[in-house]
């Protein structure tokens, strides 16, 4: 008799919003090197050449390492589980997720809307969209659809609210609405300015979703 085949693993759906272009990475590294050189130059003027060179190397090296780690970061959805991988990896199961928050970060005029999921001391921030002016980048249709389905099956009662939010985003995109008319853009816009990162209250999101067409 033929041995039964093990069930196939669920498909990996990338949840990465970051621009993977080589040019962007090179520019970021160049900025890190220039910043390190500038800091090292100031230290060198005050304390001498050797401390300045050491400072420049440490600052530039640290920033370059952070850039490299950010470039290596991968997030994907596999069935009901969200997996993030940089050097190591961590997993959050959306079926038993304990924390669901919507975060808005504002860095150099770019507002990023992220879904923070957490359980058992682990947390992963999934960037859903990033907007600048009246345009931006959003997760693809398949990624949003699968993420909405996984959230709808969560034991956490907030999961259904966030699932409905993503479905509304998909419907707005299907209708061909411009970015300012889409739910994620509207949430990013109503967040108060002047804060690097802020959490939107779940109650406010629930009311927002209830009033969506």
- HSE-CB for 21 with a 13 A CA cutoff: 5
Place of tokens 């693993």: 9
CB 129, CB 188: distance < 8 Å: yes
The phi, psi pair for 109, rounded to 5°, reads: 80, 0
Please, which pLDDT band fits residue 54 given cuts at 50, 70 and 90?
A: confident
Report the pLDDT value the prediction gives residue 63, as an integer from 0 to 100: 60
Q: Is residue 8 scored above 90 in pLDDT?
A: no
Domain extent listing, the chain: 22-72, 74-210
Q: Model-level pTM?
A: 0.74
Distance CA 181, CA 203 (A): 21
- DSSP for 190-202 reads HSPSS-SEEEEPH
- 135 CB contacts (<8 Å, ≥6 apart)? 179
pLDDT, mean of residues 127-139: 90
Q: Which of 112, 116, 104 is nearest to 136 (CA)?
A: 112
The Cα–Cα gap between 185 and 213 comes to 15
């Amino acid at each position: 008799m033929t041995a039964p085949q093990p069930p196939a693993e669920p498909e990996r759906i990338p949840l990465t919003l970051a621009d993977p272009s080589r040019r962007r990475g090179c520019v970021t590294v160049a900025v890190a090197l220039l910043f390190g050189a500038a800091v090292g130059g100031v230290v060198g003027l005050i304390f001498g050449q050797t401390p300045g060179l050491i400072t420049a190397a440490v600052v530039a090296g640290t920033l370059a390492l952070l850039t490299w780690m950010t470039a290596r970061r991968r997030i994907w959805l596999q069935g009901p589980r969200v997996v993030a991988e940089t050097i190591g990896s961590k997993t959050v199961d959306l079926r038993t997720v304990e924390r669901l928050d919507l975060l808005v970060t504002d860095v150099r005029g770019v507002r990023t809307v992220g879904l923070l999921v957490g359980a058992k001391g682990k947390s992963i921030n999934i960037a859903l969209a990033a907007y600048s002016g009246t345009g931006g980048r959003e997760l693809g249709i398949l990624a949003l659809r699968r993420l909405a389905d996984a959230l709808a099956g969560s034991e956490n009662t907030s999961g259904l609210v966030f699932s409905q939010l993503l479905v509304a985003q998909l419907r707005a995109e299907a209708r061909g609405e411009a970015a300012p008319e889409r739910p994620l853009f509207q949430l990013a816009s109503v967040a108060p300015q002047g804060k690097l990162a802020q959490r939107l209250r779940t109650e406010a999101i629930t009311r927002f979703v209830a009033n969506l067409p």
